[in-house]
Amino acid sequence: MVHISCSGMGMLRRPKPTDSEADLLREQDHFLTSGVPSAASVVRRPDKRRGEAGEEDGEDGGSQRDVVTIEDLPEEMPSLTPAPPKKSRFKASRVTFEDEDAEERLDRHDTHISAILSKIVERDTSSAPISLPAFTGLAFPKVMHRSETNNQMLLSTAGGKKSIFARHIAAQRLKERKTQLQSPSEATPETKMDVDQCAAAGHQPCPVSGPRLVSGQGLRGPDSSGEIMRIHRENQANLQSMSQAEILEEQNKLLSQLDPRLVEFVRSRKAQSGPSSASPSKLPKNKSSKEDPYVHHESRDSSSAYRSIQEPPEVEMEGEKEEDVEEEQEESPPKPAITEKDLPVKPQKDWVHMDKLEPEKLEWMRDLPAPRRKETKKAMQARFDFAGTLILPSEDLPTHLGLHHHGEEPERAGYSLQELFLLSRSQVIQQRTLALSTLANILSKARAGEYLMVLKGSMMSTLLDAGLIFLLRFALDDGVEGVMSAAVYALKALLVCAEDEECLDCTFSWFRGLTSFPLLPSASKEEDEEDEGLDESMKETAKEKEEKKSDHDVTRQDVVKGLLKMKLLPRLRYILEVVRPSPRVIQDVFEILTRIARHSSSSATQVLDCSRLMETVISEFLPISWKGSTSLQPQSIYGLPLASAMKLCRVLATSGRHACARLLNSLAVRERLSCLLSAEPTELLLDPNEALRITTEAYRLWAVAAGYGQACQLYLDLYPALLKTLQSVHRVLLSSDPLLPLQLQRLLALVSLLTQVTHTAGCHQELQAGMVSSHGDECLPPPPVSWGHVTGLHPSLLGHLKSFVKNLNDPGQKDCSLAVIPAYLVYLEAYYHQLSRQNCFRPVETLQELELLSSEVLLPLMCHIAVQDLMKNLKSSSVVCNAKAVPLGPEITPNLPGLACPGWRDRPGLVVSSSPFPLLIGLGLLLETITGIHKGLCCKFKGLLLSDHVIGYLRSCIQATPTLSHTKAWLLRHEHHLLYLLLRLAHRLVPMQPDVAENAPLYHQVALVLLPWLLPGSEYLAHELLSTVIFNRDFILEGHSGGPEAVELGELKLHEGTQQHTSVGSLLRQACVQMPSIRGCFLTHLAHLESSVLVSRDGLLGHNPWVNSHLLPELTGPILPYDWPFLPLIGLYERVGASDGGGLAVEDLPQGALQAVTHCLQWLLLLEVWRDEVLKVILPVAKLARLSCVFLCSSDLFLERPVQKLTWSLFRLLTRGSMLDSLDLNVPPPGLASFQDLYLALLAQYEAVSFGDRLFGCWVLLPLQRRYSTSMRLAVFGEHVGILRSLGVTLEQLSIPIERFTSPPEDSLPLLHLYFRSLVTGTLKSSWCPILYVVVLSHINSFIFSQDAAAQEVETARHNMLRKIYYLTNEVLKNHLLLFHLPQQHSELGFDMYEQLPPIRAKRLESILRLNNGSDNKRD
Residues 975 and 879: beta-carbon distance below 8 Å: yes
Mean pLDDT in residue range 264-277: 60
Give whole-number Cα distances, 653 to 643, 646, 704, 1101, 1344, in Å.
Answer: 15, 11, 7, 20, 80
Taking only the tens place, the pLDDT of each residue in 64-104 is 445 555 555 455 555 544 455 555 555 555 555 556 676 66
Residue 711 has a pLDDT of 94
Alpha helices in 807-947 (DSSP H): 811-835, 843-853, 859-863, 865-871, 874-877, 917-933, 942-946
Tens-place pLDDT, residues 489-528:
999 999 999 999 999 999 999 999 999 999 999 865 555 5
| Predicted confidence (pLDDT) at residue 727 exceeds the cutoff of 70 | yes
Q: Tell me the C-alpha distance between 974 and 415, whole Å.
A: 44
Is residue 796 predicted with pLDDT exceeding 90? yes
- What is the distance between the terminal CA atoms of the chain, rounded to a whole angstrom? 122
Q: Is the pLDDT of residue 274 over 50?
A: no
> Strand locations in 286-358, DSSP E?
316-317
Res. 200: pLDDT tops 70 = no
| Per-residue pLDDT tens over the stretch 1190-1232 | 999 998 999 999 999 999 999 999 998 888 999 999 999 998 8
How confident is the model at residue 221, as a pLDDT?
57
Range of weakest confidence among 59-68, 189-198, 309-318, 348-357: 189-198
**Residue 659: what pLDDT?**
97
The Cβ of residue 1243 has, within 10 Å, a number of other Cβ atoms equal to: 20
- pLDDT for position 1219: 87
Bridge partners (DSSP) listed for residue 2: 42
1: pLDDT strictly greater than 50: no
Percent of the chain with pLDDT over 70: 76
pLDDT at position 184 over 70: no
Mean pLDDT of the region 1280-1307: 90
- Band the pLDDT of 41: cuts 50, 70, 90: low
DSSP 1135: I
Which residues have CB under 8 Å from 728's CB, separation 6+? none
Average pLDDT over residues 1310-1323: 93
Of 356-360, 1085-1089, 1171-1175, the one with minimum mean pLDDT is 356-360
Predicted pLDDT at 131:
64
pLDDT at 93: 53
pLDDT (tens digit, 9 = 90+) per residue, 528-579?
555 555 555 556 676 777 778 888 999 999 999 999 999 999 999 999 999 9
b vs e for 666-693, b when ≥16 Cβ sit within 10 Å of the residue's Cβ? ebebbebbbbbbeeebeebebbeebbbb
pLDDT bracket for residue 590 (50, 70, 90): very high
- The answer, yes or no, to whether residue 51 has pLDDT greater than 90, is no
- Convert the pLDDT of each residue in 459-469 to its tens digit: 899 999 999 99
pLDDT tens digits for range 899-936: 888 888 888 889 999 999 999 999 999 999 999 999 99
Q: Mind listing the pLDDT tens digit for each residue in 152-161? A: 444 444 445 5
Would you place residue 394 in the very low, low, confident or very high pLDDT band (cuts 50, 70, 90)?
A: confident
Q: What is the pLDDT of residue 693?
A: 96
Dihedral (Cα; 1102, 1106, 1108, 1112), 10-degree rounding: -40
Q: What is the pLDDT of residue 1007?
A: 97
DSSP 4: E
pLDDT for res 258: 78
* Per-residue confidence (pLDDT) for residue 84, from 0 to 100: 54
Percent of the chain with pLDDT over 90: 51
**Above 90 in pLDDT, residue 653?**
yes
pLDDT at 1061: 58
The answer on pLDDT for 827 being more than 90 is: yes
pTM confidence score: 0.77
CB within 8 Å of 1273: residues ≥ 6 apart: 1264, 1308, 1311
Model confidence at 223, in pLDDT bands (50, 70, 90)? low
- Model pLDDT, residue 1319: 93
Average pLDDT score over residue span 1369-1389? 87
The per-residue pLDDT for range 1038-1059, each reduced to its tens digit, is 887 676 777 777 665 444 444 4
For range 261-267, the mean pLDDT: 77
DSSP 1380: E
In this prediction, residues 1105-1131 reach a mean pLDDT of 94
Q: What is the average per-residue pLDDT within 957-963? A: 88
φ/ψ (deg, to 5) at 194: -95, 140
Least confident of 47-56, 361-370, 1033-1042, 1351-1360: 47-56
Rounded mean pLDDT of 959-966?
Answer: 85
Predicted confidence at residue 587, as pLDDT, reads 97
Query: Lowest mean pLDDT: which of 422-431, 543-552, 683-692?
Result: 543-552
Is the model's pLDDT at 625 over the cut of 80? yes
pLDDT over threshold 90, residue 162:
no
pLDDT at 689 over 90: yes
CA–CA dist 649, 607 (Å, integer):
10
- Mean pLDDT, rounded, for 719-739: 88
The residue ranking higher by pLDDT, 146 or 862, is 862
Please give the Cα distance from 653 to 651 (Å, whole number).
Answer: 5
Q: Which of 103-107, 965-969, 1327-1331 has the lowest mean pLDDT?
A: 103-107
For residue 400, the number of C-alpha atoms closer than 13 Å in the C-beta half-sphere is 0
Q: For residues 491 and 468, what is the distance between their CA atoms, to the nearest angstrom? A: 9
Higher pLDDT, 1330 or 733: 1330
Residue 284 pLDDT > 70: no
Percent composition of the chain: helix, strand, coil (DSSP 3-state, to 5): 60, 0, 40
Residue 543 to residue 289: CA distance in whole angstroms = 61
Give the whole-angstrom CA distance, residue 554 versus residue 550: 6
Question: CA 706 to CA 790: how far, in whole Å?
Answer: 13
pLDDT confidence tier of residue 716, bands split at 50, 70 and 90:
very high
Could you tell me which residue, 1137 or 1067, shows the higher pLDDT? 1067
pLDDT (0 to 100) of residue 616: 96
| Partners of 40 in the β-ladder | 4
